[in-house]
Amino acid sequence: MTRSWHTMVRSPFTRWAIIMPLLMCIVVTIFGVLAFRETQRALINEFQTALREEVLNLELLYREEGFTALKKSIDRRAHQDETQRVYLLTNARGEYIAGNLKIWPRNVPIRDDAEATFIDPTTGEKVAAEVILLYGDNQLLVGRRAIHEQVARHLIQNYLWLCALMLFSATAAGLLFSRAIQKRLAAIHHTANTIRLGHQQSRIALAGSNDEIDGVIVELNALLDQQEKLLTYARQSSSAIAHDLRQPLSLLRGKLLEIGTEPQQDVLVKQEALAQLDQILAMFSAILRLGRLESGAQALQLETIDLKVLAEDVVELYQPLIEDAGHTLTLSGEHCIIAIDRELIFAALCNLIENANRYGQSQIDVLISPQAITVRDYGQGVAQSDLDRLSEPFFKAESSRNSAGHGLGLALVKAIAELHGGHLILRNAEPGFMATLQLAS
Amino acid sequence: MRILLVEDQLQQAQYTQKALQEGGHTVDHAAEGRTGLFMATTENYDAIVLDRMLPLVDGLTILRTLRASDNKTPILLLSALGEPDDRVEGLRAGADDYLSKPFHSAELLARIEVITRRSQMASTTDTSKLQLADLELDRLARTVRRAGKLIDLQPREYQLLEFLLRHAGQVVTRTMLLEGVWNYHFDPNTNVIDVHMSKLRAKIDGDQPRPLLHTVRGAGYRMGEK
């Protein structure tokens, strides 16, 4: 993946990877400077106090015990291991007597109580020193190596190392992190492209880490699944519409061709053609109604009514028709006061009863239970494999392939149930078939 | 009758216009809401057929404006194809009736007939007796006689007959019966209404030489002496 510098800088991850170490450096620097100043001050104080004491001690020793003791003490002190102290005892001419410095440094004045700093030629270290003139013009130089300078050097060195390490590690971590994120984003990106190119089944791969990004990906995949289902559904239903309309339209065409062949039949043929056309129009109305219900464009007109009274209306409307077909229609169950769209539930119930009348035999039972209506027939039932698909638009079970229905009835009932926050339950009742319109509980 | 049709879609307008003219009405057509409103307020019409979905000024607004200015012309509201079928809203806004597309010309004519008659005969609905030839319905006693002989009707059959007699001479469609008698508005797919009608016919016309209940092919039913 080649990406221009510009887009890289624009990426929030890259920016984060840059800003983060810089921020860390700034914080560490502030801390470092403060700590450094404190340390230096303390060290210098310590240093000067120690030097003062040393000088006082030696002066005391010289006064109380004399030159020889001083010389011995200086010898002893000067040759201790690892000593930070510097001594030089010379005679009046400046010739070496004792100490660990060989030559009187050039820029140190020979004056009592003079303070000076000089560079030790043997080690190259800075030394701060005091000068004491003894009797007989012997000169004593007492100094200490300025370790605080070393400490400062070390501190600064360490600080620089630390900064470098921090910059490196934070940048590396940031880059790795953003690379990881970008990789996962790229997966999403890639899948989106693949889908755009027409591979509807493509899904975003999960990293398996179960983190927030995986959570988002799971959501996205679910969304894609749903979209694909809708798309498939739309494709199926449009081809189903086309398929289901061809037949009645061909029939209509045939009828229209008949007109004029036998003039005395024309009136009848025209009637038949009109009936055919009405059926097509009814189917379109059903499709539109279904579309309105499913898209939620139709607002529910809720009224609080007795479900049983509504069922009585339906039963009363269909009773003569069903008796004519030689069946019986019974209604049982309790009263149930519920807020529903009475028109829609009425239409749904009519649908279920018409189905039962079409496919059932002898008897149809309508049963009211709390929040639900069940319509049961005693016919053949439905093949188990078809049960789940019954409420799909245009789906027709094998057993009803040649019946007059347009295959939208149960889809409408299901949409009505779902609009009420309920659902439609279809099952075989052995014998017969059972449709339950379960309303919101 | 003189009818104003307010409809923006040309083809639909032609279809509706033709249907109305075949029913013997003269039709003025307005292709959009503002013109429609202007014509409705300046001319005198027996009825207005109003499309609900119009450009510029929509149907419901016109309806409310007319009703607010105390215009009582009977109005039949047409719902456009594929939009929410909200009868209640239409009727509340002041429509006399509501019809959703696609509709039958017979349905349209029957409904126009009813809403115009309704406004003319608003006073006749409270007469206690409805009569047609030798068929007589007493609304107080809830009895029906034919040639003086009492006919025993189920409550629903009685309601059906009352509705038909109130619209005697007019075509009454199946959906109108379902609305007027059962008070549900939908289009039953089967001949569920026809069965009720044939039962009623058997009781009132049965063996009478002169049938009063006629089937109008492709449209519905009509009570009349011919």
Q: Read out DSSP for chain B?
A: -EEEEE-S-HHHHHHHHHHHHHTT-EEEEESSHHHHHHHHHHS--SEEEEESS-SSS-HHHHHHHHHHTT----EEEEEPTTS---HHHHHHTT-SEEEESS--HHHHHHHHHHHHHHHHTTTGGG-SEEEETTEEEETTTTEEEETTEEE---HHHHHHHHHHHHTTTSEEEHHHHIIIII------SSSHHHHHHHHHHHHHTTT-SS--EEEETTTEEEES--
Q: What share of chain A is helix, strand, coil (3-state, %, to 5)?
A: 60, 15, 25
In chain A, which stretches have pLDDT less than 50? 1
Pairing, β B47-51 against β B2-6: parallel
Contact A354 B195 (CB under 8 A): no
Choosing among B87, B159, B187, B200, which should be mutated to test the A contact, i.e. which has the most A CBs within 10 A? B187
Q: Which CATH architecture has domain B129-223?
A: Orthogonal Bundle (1.10)
Contact A350 B188 (CB under 8 A): yes
Residue B119: pLDDT band (50, 70, 90) is low
A35 Cβ contact partners less than 8 Å away, ≥ 6 residues apart: none
- Residue B123 has a pLDDT of 46
Phi and psi at residue B79, to the nearest 5°: -90, 140
- pLDDT tens-place string over residues B5-63: 999 888 889 989 998 998 889 999 998 888 899 999 898 899 999 998 887 788 888 99
Contact A288 B190 (CB under 8 A): no
Cα dihedral sign, B154-B159-B161-B162: positive
Contact B195 A289 (CB under 8 A): no
> What domains does chain A contain, in order, with CATH numbers?
203-299 (1.10.287), 300-438 (3.30.565.10)
Q: Choose the weakest-confidence range: A104-118, B159-173, B205-219.
A: A104-118
User: Residues of B near A (CB-CB distance < 8 A)?
Assistant: 81-86, 88, 100, 102, 104, 156, 182, 184-192, 195-196, 199, 217-218
- pLDDT tens-place string over residues A164-195: 888 888 888 888 888 888 888 888 888 889 88
Choosing among A287, A350, A355, which should be mutated to test the B contact, i.e. which has the most B CBs within 10 A? A350
Contact B192 A299 (CB under 8 A): no
For B190, the closest of A316, A347, A354 (CB atoms) is: A354
Cis? peptide before B209, omega within 30° of 0: no
CB B129 within 8 Å of CB B139: yes
The whole-angstrom separation of Cα B122 and Cα B113 is 14
A284 → chain B, closest CA residue: B102
pTM of the model: 0.60
| Of residues A364, A346, A348, the one with CA closest to residue A306 | A346
CB B122 within 8 Å of CB B7: no
**Mean pLDDT, to the nearest integer, of B113-141?**
76
State the number of CA atoms in the 13 A half-sphere of A365 facing the CB. 16
What is the residue extent of each domain of chain B?
2-124, 129-223
B13-32 in b/e form (b: 16+ CB < 10 A) is bebbbebbeebebebbbbee
**Mean pLDDT, to the nearest integer, of B115-137?**
73
Pairing, β B97-100 against β B75-79: parallel
- Element (DSSP H or E) covering residue A425: strand A423-428
- Residue A301 has a pLDDT of 80
- When the pLDDT of each residue in chain B is averaged and rounded to a whole number, the result is 85
Contact B86 A298 (CB under 8 A): yes
Residues of B in contact with A291 (CB under 8 A): 82
Contact A320 B185 (CB under 8 A): no
Asked whether the predicted pLDDT for residue B189 surpasses 70, the reply is no
For A285, the closest of B102, B184, B192 (CB atoms) is: B102
Cis? peptide before A431, omega within 30° of 0: yes
- Residue A402 has a pLDDT of 58
Q: What's the token pair of residue A370?
A: 């709390």
**Mean pLDDT, to the nearest integer, of B198-226?**
88
Which superfamily is assigned to B2-124 in CATH?
Response regulator (3.40.50.2300)
Distance from CA of B193 to the nearest CA of A (A): 8
The whole-angstrom separation of Cα A326 and Cα A202 is 54
Distance from CA of B195 to the nearest CA of A (A): 6
B84 → chain A, closest CA residue: A298
Residues of A in contact with B196 (CB under 8 A): 317, 320
